[in-house]
Chains A and B, each alone.
Chain A
């Protein structure tokens, strides 16, 4: 059904294109809901003003899950849109299907040099033995520490400080045996653990991606640290912005994309701010999340592809990325943008955006392996086992590494 309606939709689009003779229509599938859509539309409008021969049609396809299903079906049917937002693991499938146009060759070297390394890593894939920049960074977010300024005057700078502050801020006010206020909050998802793992100096996979290194001493060190931190943490599987807003959790680590939710939850209750992550034994890096933008060579015309590449280049221009970052809270994708006077002025008015801008420059991303989804799930399971006391850090990580080695790296 989906495939049929897509074919119909695309046929309709093509007919419309034929109607505007001389104007190239570029359909852009995205998952930016009502909050961010006006900004995206404004950027498209600006682009169209300077490119009267190009018409950018933004198509909201629902949330990421919906977008992934629709893109998958459309590519399978040979009728994808001209461009779309995409996560790394989807991108790998599209590359495998030979559906994507590599964008690297069309982007000037000085622009590439101006993109933070983590964003380049996120968009670079090995295609036929060559490293190729396939897509461009779009709505990126970094991990930051959210803290309640009524309880935490200065944020912790290191793991030790974080642990100590979490301990001091965990209080059982009514004396019923369970704390009413926790120093920290833990939600057991892979990226949360990977930050600590990376900061301990760990790497998920070896260089040629044939062996999982999650059960290394660094992995055990990170897990043991989290086990200590858990004593002073509210532990839950749902988002922490709620308990943070209620003052139940004094600090937590989360994606900068959650900033609006923190603001809303804390409004009228207490002050809050963001800070770069507390630094671990080896570094203070944080994982970068969010999608990139790719252009399909499958089922598109030369003119459409060229127009789409122009729009992709526009989206990563310093001006556009600044506008995008300031209005949505995502990260600017250019070093020059983070260093610009305009961004400094913006930070002065919105100090909560400063930490993520800093984290963007020291970020890292997952290695690009086609089974990364499964690998992440195995790691999340290990984290949950340890946090729930079902296994020791070594047992859980050994089991995860074994599963990853035998089931996901062998293929």
Chain B
């Protein structure tokens, strides 16, 4: 009778048990606040967004038009352009940010003076208001008075670049700002991951005579992989939604010179709130959702090959 249960077994008669129902009711009671909040602010708008994407939105009397919103988006060159810019941003910002962040995190993880100062300094951009930061970047990117051109021109003798008014420099300008902004966040997460790695691995490796690089390659990198994976997914999703920087740098939903910095989110804003085509805007948002969803699924699948859990 006193046999210890190793695995919880499911009692087939549990539905007849009053206690089961009481426990269930109690559990739902605890979950209720979360369900209400998530339901109202996440799931309801989510379903609603799907719903209205099939309508031509006329404020008071929407008109059902089936897939027309989606068809028109797919026929719009500007949409494809904005998708390309978004991919450009994702590729251009996520990999450099993560590489740089991992490097800095490893350096910060070693015992150096003023570690907490650097940690704060790197994290500061992440908690800085994007609008305020964008105003500063407006100055940094200024052709004649900007800091960036000052450095490039005076130190490296590069011709003055009109960052914000030249189409081919618009996206690099956004990417640079993105790296600056998210570097700190990535560093802090990587640091946490690094500190979670058991010191004994390194001690054992040192006894075996492993070099610094070998320790990094065969201990740090594999054992940090769950953290890397987390940062990777979060960064990709975040990068797909890049918006505020662009909205402020070029004051409005135009997406920079000749739409050179028009991303999917800016395209969405322009459609929904510029043109007041809420149905079509919802369709854009749904397309973005599907894209991010598929990419995340692919990442999850691929992750099995390179993520090691201790």
Question: Are A and B bound to each other?
Answer: yes
Chain A residues proximal to chain B, CB less than 8 Å: 1, 65, 68-69, 72, 75-76, 78, 89-90, 93-94, 96-99, 178, 188, 235-239, 248, 298, 371, 373-374, 377, 380-381, 384-385, 388, 390
**B contacts with A: majority SS:** loop
CA distance A377 to B270 in the complex (A): 10
A238 touches B251 (CB 8 A): yes
Nearest CB of B to A224, in Å: 20
Chain B, residues 236-252, CB within 8 Å of chain A (1/0): the string is: 00000000000000110
Give residues of chain B (157-202) contacting chain A, Cβ–Cβ below 8 Å. 160, 162, 164-167
| In the complex, chain A residues whose CB is within 8 Å of the CB of B251 | 238-239
Interface residue? B230 (CB, 8 A)? no
Residues on B with C-beta less than 8 A from A188 are: 257
Chain A residue with Cβ nearest B167: A388
Interface contact B276-A236, CB-CB below 8 Å: no
A94 and B276 alpha carbons, distance in the complex (Å): 11
Q: What are 16 A-B contacts with C-beta separation under 8 Å?
A: A1-B45, A69-B273, A72-B59, A90-B276, A97-B61, A98-B60, A99-B59, A99-B60, A178-B160, A236-B162, A236-B165, A237-B250, A239-B251, A377-B270, A380-B254, A390-B258
Q: State the B residues within 8 Å of A (CB).
A: 40-41, 45, 58-61, 138, 143-144, 160, 162, 164-167, 250-251, 254, 256-259, 270, 273-276, 278
Give A26 to B258 CA distance when docked, in angstroms.
43
In the complex the two chains form, is A236's CB within 8 Å of B275's CB? Answer: no
- In whole angstroms, what is the CA distance A186 to B257 when docked? 13
B59 to chain A, nearest CB (A): 4
Contact B164–A236 (Cβ < 8 Å): yes
B167 touches A238 (CB 8 A): no
Closest A residue by C-beta to B60: A97
| Cβ contacts under 8 Å, A385 to chain B | 258
Chain B residue nearest to A380 in the complex (CB): B254
In the complex, which residues of chain A have a beta carbon less than 8 angstroms from the beta carbon of B166? 388
CA distance A195 to B281 in the complex (A): 31
B275 touches A373 (CB 8 A): yes
Distance in angstroms from B276 CB to nearest chain A CB is 6
Given known contacts A98-B60, A99-B60, A388-B257, A1 and B164 CB-to-CB distance under 8 angstroms = no
The answer to whether B165 and A237 have CB atoms under 8 Å apart is: yes
Contact in complex: A93, B165 (CB < 8 Å): no
Instruction: Assess A97 versus B274: contact at CB under 8 Å? Given A235-B165, A390-B258.
Output: no
For A374, give its contact among B59, B60, B143, B275 (CB under 8 Å): B275
Kindly identify which residue among A68, A96, A178, A238 contacts B58, using a CB–CB cutoff of 8 Å: A96
Additional pairs, 20, CB under 8 Å, beyond known A68-B276, A97-B60: A1-B45, A68-B273, A72-B278, A75-B59, A75-B60, A89-B276, A93-B58, A93-B59, A97-B58, A188-B257, A236-B162, A236-B164, A237-B164, A237-B250, A239-B251, A373-B276, A377-B274, A381-B258, A384-B258, A388-B258
